[in-house]
């Protein structure tokens, strides 16, 4: 089986999926930042992931937990 532009894998590898939308502006911004992190830069991905985690933890604690 040949791999080419029509098999769907090339497009998904070059174009990251849109981050999910939660309806929470702060959470959505953090998820967008994570999605925009350079996939070749592990430090950037880790830093963005840590910010998303802190954002999510903060939002959950705001719910009265």
Assigned domain for 25 exists: yes
Residue 35's domain comprises 19-62
Domain assignment of residue 7, yes or no: no
**55 in a domain, yes or no?**
yes
Residue 23 lies inside a defined structural domain of this protein: yes
How many structural domains does the chain have?
Answer: 1
Q: Tell me, yes or no, whether 44 lies in a domain.
A: yes
Which residues are CB-neighbours of 54 under 8 A, at least 6 positions away?
A: none
Contact 33, 51 (CB under 8 A): yes
For residue 8, tell me if it sits in a domain: no
Residue 18 buriedness (CB in 10 A; 0-12 / 13-18 / 19+): exposed
Q: 0.75 cut: is pTM over it?
A: no
pLDDT in tens, 23-44: 999 999 999 999 999 999 999 9
Collect contacts of 20-24 with beta carbons under 8 A, ≥24 apart. Answer: 24/59
* 52 located within any domain: yes
Query: Is pLDDT of 11 > 70?
Result: no
The answer as to whether 12 is a domain residue is: no
């Amino acid at each position: 089986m040949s791999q080419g532009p029509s098999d769907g894998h090339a497009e998904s590898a070059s174009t990251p999926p849109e981050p999910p939308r939660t309806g929470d502006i702060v959470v959505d911004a953090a998820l967008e930042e994570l999605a925009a992190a350079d996939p070749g830069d592990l430090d950037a991905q880790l830093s963005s992931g840590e910010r998303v985690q802190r954002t999510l933890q903060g939002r959950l604690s705001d719910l009265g937990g």
